[in-house]
Amino acid sequence: MIKATEKENIIDQAFRDSVGTIDQQGKRKYIFPKKPKGSLYNKRTIASVVYLIVFFSLPLIKVHGEPLIMLNILKRKFILFGQIFGPQDFFIFALGMITFIVFIILFTVVFGRVFCGWACPQTIFMEMVFRKIEYWIDGDFNKQQQLKVMPWNGFKIRKRALKIIVFYLISFLIANYFMAYLISMDEVMRYVHEGIAAHSGTFFALIVFTSIFFFVYYWFREQVCIVVCPYGRLQGVLLDKNSIVVAYDYLRGEPRGKKSTADKTVGDCIDCKACVRVCPTGIDIRNGTQLECINCTACIDACDEIMDNLGRPKKLIKYASENNIVKKQKLKITARTKAYSVVLLIILSALVALLVTRDDVDVTILRTPGMVYQKMPGGYIGNLYSARMFNKTHEDINIKLSIASQEGEIEIIGAPPVVGKENYAVVVFLIKKKATLITKRNSTILIQVQPKGQPSITKKTSFIGPVSF
């Protein structure tokens, strides 16, 4: 057993000078993690199955004939759980993103990188889909290492070909679903039925997405978490001594080394490196929290098995905070956590208020640019306007326009306005005002927009005319 203050002296700090997956020459060190097993791995497998069912089911679910979720950036149409959002709702999206980021920060301050290990799509697909398939095709880590150094022969070619084909097909499936989240599954199926020739551009995009997924899962792998993902790089500022992370109980484990049960001069870690062999990012968790750690818990399971075999208590590596290890302190709600919670509550309330009060029809009214007023028969002055409307409902809506202040008349140019479901419409109309009622060159006018069966919306615009007519 050591004291907390001795940690820095006992643990070699050289690991901080380099990234575990890059060698002295700056080349990629390919990781061959041992196949994990244990109770946490089983729980993660169950969680991943649920996750994958949800991921592959969501694009198939429809509400009122529309997808439950669609993020069509090109058409600027977004559907979230049946609710339609247009570009006008950008501020709701922005606030939603801010809420999500604050939530993630709060969650990370308290629970560390639990998200990375249990819910991040990169980890789920890498560790629970592609890695499992790799173990099935190539065998465990030692067989994979042998295969890598083996000269090319029929056996190696068969293994590599099978892995490439299976990985590419799954990448193709993911790319199709990715597309379905963007443009809806109905559109994807329509493209499939109409053939590649009719949609060569989309097909090209699909192949690009597939190739990116294939590259990531076949070769790039843990580098996504280590060098690409901004969330991983934020850990240094988000974690503190009260954050719960996958941690090695160095007070119990050090000084490491072989010992008999009666030997009190060394700690419980027998330096077997089982925890290092299973790590998919190639680090030694005994060095302390590192940005490479994705909290996958494989090292907890590996060490638990060793401790079990030695007849010692489990959880030498466990979910714990630094204060939990050193001071035996339970989860503590710090001032930082409270502050983040308050901010999150405020933003969340604002978001809910915006969502609850948002109109089903968005209306923007503009006086036609470049036009002044028109003198009209009967002593009227007219101004020309256009109203751009977006119907966020699943039914066509008839719209009635009127002047709220009763000081003029509206004359629609063309047919009475109807905005198609989930669609835009532009209505051009004139506002006529008796010249004798005009007292200012530029006055404000209120227009009542009445979608049938919906609460009315009042819009403000300007009306110009001659004062001394």
Q: Which is nearer to ligand SF4, 286 or 367 (CB)?
A: 286
Report residue 29 as tokens. Answer: 């060190």
- Minimum Å gap between C-beta 304 and ligand SF4 is 8
- Minimum Å gap between C-beta 228 and ligand SF4 is 16
* Part in contact with ligand SF4 (CB under 6 A); list of ranges 61-69, 147-155, 198-206, 269-277: 269-277
Contact flag: residue 77 with ligand SF4 (CB under 6 A): no
19, 183, 294, 399: which one contacts ligand SF4 (CB under 6 A)?
Answer: 294
Contact flag: residue 365 with ligand SF4 (CB under 6 A): no
Contact flag: residue 21 with ligand SF4 (CB under 6 A): no
* Part in contact with ligand SF4 (CB under 6 A); list of ranges 267-275, 331-339, 395-403, 430-438: 267-275
Quickly count: other Cβ atoms within 10 Å of residue 458's Cβ. 10
244, 246, 399, 419: which one contacts ligand SF4 (CB under 6 A)?
Answer: 246
48, 122, 287, 297: which one contacts ligand SF4 (CB under 6 A)?
Answer: 297
Contact flag: residue 275 with ligand SF4 (CB under 6 A): yes
Contact flag: residue 109 with ligand SF4 (CB under 6 A): no
Contact flag: residue 430 with ligand SF4 (CB under 6 A): no
Contact flag: residue 283 with ligand SF4 (CB under 6 A): yes
- Minimum Å gap between C-beta 253 and ligand SF4 is 6
114, 303, 347, 431: which one contacts ligand SF4 (CB under 6 A)?
Answer: 303
Contact flag: residue 183 with ligand SF4 (CB under 6 A): no
* Part in contact with ligand SF4 (CB under 6 A); list of ranges 8-16, 38-46, 194-202, 281-289: 281-289
Report residue 206 as tokens. Answer: 């699909």
- Contact in structure between 383 and 396 (CB atoms under 8 Å): no
Contact flag: residue 99 with ligand SF4 (CB under 6 A): no
Q: Which is nearer to ligand SF4, 283 or 447 (CB)?
A: 283
Contact flag: residue 271 with ligand SF4 (CB under 6 A): yes
Q: What is the C-alpha separation between 409 and 402, in angstroms, rounded?
A: 7
34, 77, 131, 286: which one contacts ligand SF4 (CB under 6 A)?
Answer: 286
Contact flag: residue 269 with ligand SF4 (CB under 6 A): yes
According to CB under 6 A, which residues from 317 to 336 bind ligand SF4? 317
- Minimum Å gap between C-beta 458 and ligand SF4 is 57
Nearest residue to 36 (alpha-carbon basis) of 116, 122, 149, 126: 126
Count Cα atoms within 13 angstroms, Cβ side, for 172.
9
Contact flag: residue 247 with ligand SF4 (CB under 6 A): no
Q: What is the C-alpha separation between 372 and 383, in angstroms, rounded?
A: 7
- Contact in structure between 271 and 258 (CB atoms under 8 Å): yes
- Interacting residues toward ligand SF4 by CB under 6 A: 246, 248, 253, 269-275, 278-281, 283, 285-286, 293-299, 302-303, 306, 316-317
